[in-house]
Amino acid sequence: MAYGSPERLEDVPAYYADIRGGRPVRPELLQDLVERYRQLGIEDGSPLNAITEETRAALEAELGIPVFTGMKHWTPRIAEAAERALATGATTITGLVLAPHYSRLSIAGYRAQLEDALAGRAELAFVESWHDEPGLVDFLAERVRGTEAHVVFTAHSLPARILDEGDPYQEQLLETSRLVAERAGIEAWSFSYQSESDTGEPWLRPDILDHLAELHGNGVRAVLVCPVGFVADHLEIRFDLDTEAAQRAAELDLAFARIEMPNADPAFVQVLSGIVRRALAVPSTA
């Protein structure tokens, strides 16, 4: 399962409405979003949807069992993927989200959509999180090893209230960051959030834009961003990091680079395949 992305600019209002789940969308925020998607160039193809399909096909070939894509906020929907899987006669279905860290505000939503769609018609082996998966840690460590820059690990921010609700999201993100830094022998690293939404409530901080200024103030002159909370190129990577954060770094005279995302890299697909195999060996009882 993946987040999903609009294929055309004219899809953006419906996509945003889906993300908002029925809550009102402020027109100026919609306009701003359309503009970001225009800059991303989705009229020529959505990177996220194309990469997700490439990953699905590679995983299917690697596993030798059918793999279907279900998108949280776009088509093909999770419910459609569930029907297609059931139509093959599957009695156990593995749910894997292409996002390694659990939050009630993210992964739980994918799970709920899949559970509702299956309605008890197959056993569900759902992967709750894979933030400390050794293969993922090795893969990311490989991407940052040897850098002389300060490494900034990032992930999508969420409303800060999750901290009071005992949500494991932040803990898992810091754990992945620590494991990757240790594995790569990196001592100069920090973590910051990105892609905060304007929803009128406080979000988890620090935001990368402030964090870059803080690092610069502390004498850092080069950063390498490693977005541990994402696995593919999409709007939050190509716009929020490559455009917005890169611009802020340029204003600060801070050298800025980011790692290449895992996307459908064969080594990354092998990591996913290992996770699915293990999940299938132990179907969840939930």
Residues at the interface with ligand FEC (CB under 6 A)? 3, 5, 16, 19-20, 33, 48, 99, 105-106, 156, 158, 197, 199, 229-230, 234-236
Minimum Å gap between C-beta 64 and ligand FEC is 27
CA nearest neighbour of 35 among 50, 54, 16 = 16
Q: Judged by CB, which is closer to ligand FEC: 76, or 283? A: 76
Minimum Å gap between C-beta 234 and ligand FEC is 3
Minimum Å gap between C-beta 284 and ligand FEC is 20
Minimum Å gap between C-beta 107 and ligand FEC is 7
Could you write out the three-class secondary structure of the chain?
Answer: CECCCCCCHHHHHHHHHHHHCCCCCCHHHHHHHHHHHHHHCHHHCCHHHHHHHHHHHHHHHHHCCCCCCCECCCCCEHHHHHHHHHHCCCCEEEECCCCCCCCCCCHHHHHHHHHHHHCCCCEEEECCCCCCCHHHHHHHHHHHCCCCCEEEEEEECCEHHHHCCCCCHHHHHHHHHHHHHHHHCCCCEEEEEECCCCCCCCECCCEHHHHHHHHHHCCCCEEEEECCCCCCCCHHHHHHHHHHHHHHHHHHCCEEEECCCCCCCHHHHHHHHHHHHHHHHCCCCC
Minimum Å gap between C-beta 84 and ligand FEC is 21
Q: Judged by CB, which is closer to ligand FEC: 197, or 243? A: 197
Minimum Å gap between C-beta 104 and ligand FEC is 10
Q: Judged by CB, which is closer to ligand FEC: 111, or 156? A: 156
Q: Judged by CB, which is closer to ligand FEC: 5, or 263? A: 5
Q: Judged by CB, which is closer to ligand FEC: 95, or 254? A: 95
Minimum Å gap between C-beta 236 and ligand FEC is 5
Q: Judged by CB, which is closer to ligand FEC: 99, or 152? A: 99
Q: Judged by CB, which is closer to ligand FEC: 141, or 229? A: 229
Q: Judged by CB, which is closer to ligand FEC: 42, or 141? A: 42
Minimum Å gap between C-beta 243 and ligand FEC is 13
| CA pair distance 246, 31, nearest whole angstrom | 22
| CA pair distance 258, 225, nearest whole angstrom | 4
Q: Would strands 123-126 and 92-95 be described as parallel, antiparallel, or unpaired?
A: parallel
What residues contact residue 116 under an 8 Å CB cut-off, 6+ apart? 79
